[in-house]
């Protein structure tokens, strides 16, 4: 059974066949197109393939999120509602600990990545970004990279030009 979700989860622990089927049946495939330019956007983080994505406070506490998640490029995601995930936790007892483990590690990775930029000048932040997330740099608009690095698009253009 070839499923990106199952393949990803199995990086952390084996998944029995009956649980694989239940997981595949519960998650729904959705296609998202690159976002639009409405409102003031601040980019906090980029995700690439095979990662979980949510606004954690909203998801965990069932409250409306002030933030949004935007597709920086076209993509397909596997989606699940909070209620469906809670039901899966009842049916697959180890799943909550597994997802908590993955979430915890990804939050630590996110903090480590953001901390690497602290106190650095714009050029150094861009160089670090290119070393750590070059795959993202090739796929998202420059304005999103500039927002993420907390510099203006014009400054980013100058940095890129001077690096050539």
Helix (H) or strand (E) holding 77: strand 75-79
Residue 77: which domain range?
A: 4-115
Instruction: Find the CATH number of the domain harbouring 82.
Output: 2.60.120.10
Domain end position, chosen among 97, 115, 133:
115
Neighbour-count burial for 63-99, b at 16+ CB within 10 Å, e otherwise: eeeeeeeeebeeeebbebeeeebeebeeebeebeeeb
Residue 94 pLDDT:
97
73: Cβ contacts below 8 Å, ≥ 6 apart: 34, 139, 140
Residue 91 pLDDT:
97
| Mean pLDDT for the stretch of residues 99-123 | 91
What six digits make up the tokens of 31?
């296609």
Residue 76 pLDDT:
87
| Residue 39: pLDDT band with limits 50, 70, 90 | low
| 148 C-beta neighbours (distance < 10 Å), count | 21
**pLDDT beyond 90 at 32:** no
Per the prediction, the chain carries an average pLDDT of 89
pTM: predicted TM-score of the whole model, two decimal places:
0.77
| Mean pLDDT for the stretch of residues 96-101 | 95
147: Cβ contacts below 8 Å, ≥ 6 apart: 41, 42, 43
Q: Is residue 37 domain-shared with residue 74, that is, in the same domain?
A: yes
Residue 164 pLDDT:
78
Q: Is residue 73 domain-shared with residue 46, that is, in the same domain?
A: yes
How many structural domains does the chain have? 2
| Mean pLDDT for the stretch of residues 113-123 | 91
Residue pLDDT, tens place only, 41-97: 777 777 777 788 888 888 888 899 888 888 878 888 899 999 999 999 999 999 999
Q: Is residue 32 domain-shared with residue 100, that is, in the same domain?
A: yes
| 138 C-beta neighbours (distance < 10 Å), count | 8
Contact of 75 with 4, CB cutoff 8 Å: no
Q: Is residue 148 domain-shared with residue 85, that is, in the same domain?
A: no
| Residue 139: pLDDT band with limits 50, 70, 90 | confident
Q: Of all residues in the chain, what percent carry a pLDDT higher than 70?
A: 96
Residue 155 pLDDT:
95
């Amino acid at each position: 059974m070839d499923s990106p979700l199952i393949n990803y989860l199995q990086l952390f622990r084996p998944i029995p066949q009956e649980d694989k089927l239940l997981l595949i049946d519960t998650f729904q495939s959705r296609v998202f197109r690159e976002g639009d330019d409405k409102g003031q956007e601040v980019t906090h983080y980029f995700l690439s393939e095979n990662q979980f994505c949510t606004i954690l406070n909203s998801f965990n506490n069932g409250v409306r999120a002030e933030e949004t998640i935007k597709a920086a490029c076209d993509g397909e995601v596997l989606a699940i509602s909070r209620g469906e995930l809670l039901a899966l936790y009842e049916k697959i007892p180890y799943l909550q600990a597994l997802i908590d483990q993955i979430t915890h590690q990804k939050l630590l990775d996110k903090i480590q990545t953001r901390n690497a930029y602290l106190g650095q000048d714009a050029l150094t932040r861009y160089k670090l970004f290119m070393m750590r997330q070059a795959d993202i740099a090739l796929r998202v608009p420059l304005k999103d990279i500039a927002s993420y690095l907390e510099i203006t698009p014009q400054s980013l253009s100058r940095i890129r030009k001077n690096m050539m």
